[in-house]
Amino acid sequence: MTEHGSKLAALAPPRVGPYRSEAFESPLHATRTAAWLGLALGVTFTVCFATGLLSHLIQHPPSWFSWPARPANLYGVTQGVHVTTGIASIPLLLAKLWTVYPRFWTWPPLRSLAHLVERVSLLPLVGGSLFLLFTGVGSIARWFPWDFSFPAAHYAASWITIGALIVHVGAKVTTIRLALRRGGEAIDEPEPPSAGRTRLSRRGFLTAAFGAAGALVVATVGQTLRPLAPLAVLAPRDPRVGPQGLPVNKTADSAGVIDAATDPAYRLVVDGNVASPMSLSLDDLRSMPQHEADLPITCVDGWSASGRWRGVTVRDLLVAAGAPATAEVRVSSIQTRGPYRNAVVSAAHVADPHTMLALELNGEPLHLDHGFPTRLIGPNRPGVMNTKWVGRVEVR
Amino acid sequence: MSATEPDRHGAVFWTGVVVGWLVIAWGLWLVAARPPETRPINFAAFFVGLALVHDLVLAPVVMSAGAALRRRAPALAAGAVAAGLVVSSIVVVYAIPLWLDRATKTAQNPSFLSRDPVVGVVIVLTLTWIVVGAVVLGRVLGSRPR
């Protein structure tokens, strides 16, 4: 112990507020309970971080990263896991913070340099964890009480939080091992004999926390897994509800494209690294060879729904313009604002025969909210990268 | 918490500190490097503010509620009721952002929140309290002399 720590330790704790001896009398504030919750959170936060990082890499690919076009629903799985695991983390985090809350008021507040580092590292851990879950739920609920860009802030906070989690695991690994091994109850004061009969036992508390996580999962996962959609009473989306049977993330009205999208003078421009630049009307597109495919559309918010799409493959379009069929292209919307009005389609996705500019969905012309007159749709792509109301295809 | 919990700060701890704070520093750089998007002041306000709201408001309120429940709830029901309150409060907290300004959001996009989250909360809480009631009933019946 440092000299400073010794001096602090020699001081009697103040007998007020949380420093009263009876302030935290509940036996639920147990190390073993905290260890179980911490272990579960370690798993859920690691899964969230990995799947979130993957989503970021797909949307902002560095030169060393490539995302395959198949399996078609892989992104639906990883992003569904990301959102569902995040939702499951809410009760686990609140229960964990409640369990260890007395430690916030530990006396002496600092015992050594290592103790100082450990305590300082709790701010990025607690603040980051709450920040990620708060902004995550706010985002899927379309509730934005903040000024920052959700993707940029959520991404940065995920690194801060996972770094703090590494520090925390390093600090607690011995405690966790002792607490979770068989007979680990010895690390805590024994529960009162009445626990479980006349008050909530530690096992009951854990059951409630994991039960709440399970309830939230059951009540939301149906937005990703269509067979469970009838149970998704707390999900922001029902994958069966929307124009032409599919949900919509951004409407034509909110994108400000109604006039431009319904203008008879609409043209799709194909240019860039091509032998024959083209300017195609909707009828021109309809007269080209049409291709049909069942493809999922997956939103970064976690919902996923499939439809039968029909249109012109990007590969055919490139061949018609005299470009290599495996070139990379940049697809732009007629939207004049919004961070997702452009998307890059990698060579692997262009080469896939199911990557197309869709003109129809489920046997009908595309609904305006689904991207009329034409939208990009392809296998294994985030919804925000399936650009709607396409006005330009630039070959690179 | 236990007084027997070990307080060890060896090589594993310091390795975790170095690696972890390098990762934290990368996250902080991401905040600082793109201020038009991350709005560092606003970011920090939410980051620190949420922790303070939890530690200085939410946790004390939950502690007080738990203490009041222990004093006033019938002994045989206290545990199950406490568990029911844990589940119920978390479900309600989750659903609040869904409920806020729902009318405006669904008017702009009818496929969003097509199901009323209030109805969803009522369904989940009803099922939760049916389970709580069953547990309490089982304890009452089990405690009767035979």
Task: Find, among A292, A294, A295, the residue nearest to A310 by Cα.
Answer: A292
Range of the domain at B92: 73-146
Assess whether pLDDT exceeds 50 at residue B3. Answer: no
With a CB cutoff of 8 Å and minimum separation 6, the contacts of A204 are A196, B79, B80, B82, B83
Q: Which domains does chain A have, with CATH numbers?
A: 3-231 (no CATH), 245-395 (3.90.420.10)
Residue B142 included in any domain? yes
Given strand A278-280, what is the order of strands in its sheet?
Answer: A278-280, A268-272, A390-395, A329-333, A342-345
Measured between beta carbons, the chain A residues lying within 8 angstroms of B25 are: 163
**Which of A146, A174, A194, A388 should we substitute to test contact with B (largest number of B Cβ atoms within 10 Å)?**
A174
Residue B86 included in any domain? yes
Measured between beta carbons, the chain A residues lying within 8 angstroms of B105 are: 142
In this prediction, residue A185 carries a pLDDT of 61
Q: Number of residue pairs across A and B with CB atoms under 8 Å? A: 267
Residue B122 included in any domain? yes
Q: Contact, A39 vs A180, CB < 8 A? A: yes
Q: Return the ∠ at Cα B138 (arms to B135 and B143), rounded to 5°.
A: 125
Residue B50 included in any domain? no
User: What percent of chain A shows pLDDT beyond 90?
Assistant: 81
- As a whole number, mean pLDDT of residues A106-113 equals 85
The pLDDT tens digits for A270-310 are 999 999 999 999 999 999 999 999 999 999 999 999 999 99
Question: How close A283 gets to chain B, by Cα (Å)?
Answer: 29
Question: What is the domain count for chain B?
Answer: 1
C-alpha–C-alpha distance, residues A166 and A147, integer Å: 29
Residue B90 included in any domain? yes
Q: Contact, B98 vs A233, CB < 8 A? A: no
Q: In which element (H, E) is residue A231 found?
A: none
Question: How close B24 gets to chain A, by Cα (Å)?
Answer: 4
C-alpha–C-alpha distance, residues B133 and B128, integer Å: 9
pLDDT: which is higher, A19 or A185: A19
**Which of A2, A21, A139, A148 should we substitute to test contact with B (largest number of B Cβ atoms within 10 Å)?**
A148
Residue B46 included in any domain? no
Contact yes or no for A126 and B17 at CB 8 A: no
Residue with tokens 């170095």: B18
Residue B1 included in any domain? no
Measured between beta carbons, the chain B residues lying within 8 angstroms of A117 are: 17
The pLDDT tens digits for A204-220 are 999 999 999 999 999 99
The pLDDT tens digits for B52-64 are 999 999 999 988 8
Q: A264 falls in which pLDDT band (50, 70, 90)?
A: very high
Residue B123 included in any domain? yes
State the DSSP string of A279-301.
EE-HHHHHHSPPEEEEEEEE-TT
Measured between beta carbons, the chain B residues lying within 8 angstroms of A26 are: 66
pLDDT, averaged across chain A: 92
